[in-house]
């Protein structure tokens, strides 16, 4: 009992001594107060969620596009020419004056003007247009042009928040919000058409050609259209051209005035073995791409590729799916010879195929 009492008294004495030393040598400690976690939580809960910084960075580079064209009045019994006016949006992509917009915004236009957010009105020249990707490049001559923030290495993900900026119904610049449901990073589909980005940020008439940006204000796509099916009320499905594709198309239009694409003339699917069993899960090991259809007279048929052949490599490269392979073909210059390594009935062969330019019908 006596030992326990001495231990308690000794502990109290040590504690008082330590307190005296701290107060004597560190007098400021006496004024320290512990942070109020409750007040910090309350402050955070009342702070507004805002994307104003993203809008400030991107919005000045989004322009209103106005077009005029003369057409024959379809309502008149006698041929009569009338003036048609169209509305859209555009994105200033470079300080040199190049603007991206949609093909359907400027198609058939005789006169194009753009209105900047700083009040300037500029006449625009059509540099080139591409119907497949629904893109067109305009040029304006002006100084001190605001340029949309861009990141060549950007990789938008499904679930990312996005803001669509444009001029719907000529109401003035408007921002709508949504999330990405498909990022469109597979490039061209097996039919040779682009896989557009899918999201639910509202796109109305006049938004076409505007900017789709992320929460940092960096361009991720060019707004294109709403998904529509006749006699069906569909909401929340809108399309944008992915930034990487749009940038690639723009550079080709500036350099060549048009976009050339190669094609192979095949359809196919990923398989897991030489027997041609389909790939159903990303966890399965990929064996190759089996051709399910070879178009008569197409480049593949001319080279000797057959339905049932399994493509193992194209020019030494392996591809995860048919879309990725067709995108590679599309980006290859027409009339280029490519070696195809295939499995035909268990025999490994190499067939040289000349890809040809895909033309719109």
Distance of CA 101 to the CA centre of its chain: 14
C-alpha radius of gyration, the chain, whole number: 31
- Quick check: is 69 catalytic? no
- Quick check: is 343 catalytic? no
Considering the candidates 89, 133, 190, 208, report the single residue annotated as catalytic.
208
Give the Cα-Cα-Cα angle 242, 246, 250 (nearest 5 degrees).
175
Give the Cα-Cα-Cα angle 224, 228, 233 (nearest 5 degrees).
130
Residues 10 and 5: their CA atoms lie apart, in Å, by 9
**CA-closest candidate to residue 208, choices 187, 218, 186, 223:** 223
**CA-closest candidate to residue 167, choices 124, 99, 123, 117:** 117
What are the structure tokens assigned to 14, written together? 């040590």
What are the structure tokens assigned to 130, written together? 């591409």
Distance of CA 330 to the CA centre of its chain: 18
Residues 271 and 297: their CA atoms lie apart, in Å, by 25
What are the structure tokens assigned to 24, written together? 């004597």
Considering the candidates 130, 133, 134, 343, report the single residue annotated as catalytic.
134
**φ/ψ of residue 70, rounded to 5:** -105, 125
Q: Cβ distance 183 to 317 under 8 Å?
A: no
Going by their DSSP bridges, the two strands 347-354 and 211-214 should be labelled as unpaired
Residues 175 and 294: their CA atoms lie apart, in Å, by 46
| DSSP string for residues in 114-139 | EE-TTS-EEEEEEEEEETTTTEEEEE
- Quick check: is 208 catalytic? yes
Residues labelled as active-site residues: 104, 134, 208
């Amino acid at each position: 009992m006596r030992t326990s009492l001495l231990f308690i008294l000794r502990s109290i004495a040590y504690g008082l001594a330590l307190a005296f030393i701290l107060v004597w040598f560190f007098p400021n400690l006496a004024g320290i107060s512990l942070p109020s976690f409750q007040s910090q939580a309350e402050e955070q809960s009342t702070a507004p969620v805002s994307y104003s910084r993203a809008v400030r960075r991107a919005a000045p580079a989004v322009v209103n596009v106005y077009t005029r064209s003369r057409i024959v009045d379809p309502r008149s019994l006698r041929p009569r020419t009338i003036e048609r006016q169209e509305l859209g949006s555009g994105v200033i992509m470079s300080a040199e004056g190049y603007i991206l917009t949609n093909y359907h915004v400027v198609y058939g236009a005789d006169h194009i003007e753009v209105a900047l957010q700083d009040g300037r009105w500029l006449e625009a020249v059509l540099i080139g247009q591409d119907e497949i990707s629904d893109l067109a490049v305009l040029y304006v001559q002006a100084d001190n042009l605001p340029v949309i923030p861009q990141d060549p290495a950007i990789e938008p993900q499904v679930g990312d928040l996005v803001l669509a900026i444009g001029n719907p119904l000529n109401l003035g610049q408007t921002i709508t919000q949504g999330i990405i449901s498909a990022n469109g990073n597979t490039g061209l589909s097996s039919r040779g058409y682009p896989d557009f980005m899918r999201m639910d940020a509202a796109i109305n008439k006049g938004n076409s050609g505007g900017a789709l940006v992320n929460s940092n204000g960096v361009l991720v796509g060019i707004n294109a259209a709403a998904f529509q099916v006749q006699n069906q009320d569909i909401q929340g499905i809108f399309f944008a051209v992915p930034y990487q594709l749009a940038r690639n198309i723009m550079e080709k239009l500036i350099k060549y005035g048009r976009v050339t694409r190669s094609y192979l003339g095949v359809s196919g699917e990923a398989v897991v073995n030489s027997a041609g069993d389909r790939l159903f899960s990303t966890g399965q090991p990929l064996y190759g791409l089996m051709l399910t259809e070879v178009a008569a007279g197409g480049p593949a048929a001319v080279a000797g590729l057959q339905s049932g052949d399994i493509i193992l490599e194209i020019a030494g490269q392996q591809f995860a799916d048919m879309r990725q392979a067709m995108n590679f073909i599309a980006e290859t210059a027409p009339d280029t010879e490519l070696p195809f390594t295939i499995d035909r009935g268990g025999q490994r062969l190499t067939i040289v195929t000349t890809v040809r330019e895909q033309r719109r019908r």
